[in-house]
Amino acid sequence: MIDTAVSSCGAVQTHDCRDREERCFITKDIYGDMYSSEVKILSSFKDNVLIKNRICKEVVSIYYSDFGKKVAAYIKIYFPFMIPLVRKFLNGVIYLILVFWTSKSGRTKCIDK
């Protein structure tokens, strides 16, 4: 299981959304579980890669603003059929993160395939 392997080796820092539960749109609307391995991988990538880039940091800031919350609520109410599509897209992003980011940073030995 990815979540156990990643967290047990300590190579990928996990992010806990308990303190920001209302702002973790992906966990609530897409994956339904704030402790899922997918959410931990995305949060770790955000914390270790995205926020180190000025432009990406701004995008993350906008995502966590009221704007992001409103967009997520709008999609959930008016376009709920898109949630599985977004999940598939994010699963593809997670796959790319695991293949490229973890192998580039030497973390592949920590991931149970």
Higher-pLDDT residue of 68, 113: 68
Q: What is the pLDDT of residue 12?
A: 40
Q: Residue ranges of the domains in the chain?
A: 2-110
pLDDT score of 26 more than 80: no
Question: How far apart are alpha carbons 47 and 57 in whole angstroms?
Answer: 10
- The residue among 36, 38, 39, 48 whose CA lies nearest residue 12 is 48
The predicted structure's pLDDT at residue 106? 56
Residue of 111 and 83 predicted with greater confidence: 83
pLDDT (average), residues 19-34: 71
- Structure token pair of residue 45: 């990538």
pLDDT at 7: 35
Query: What are 43-92's pLDDT values in tens digits?
Result: 889 989 999 999 999 999 988 888 878 888 888 899 999 999 999 999 99
**pTM of full prediction above 0.85:** no
CA gap 20, 5 in Å, rounded? 25
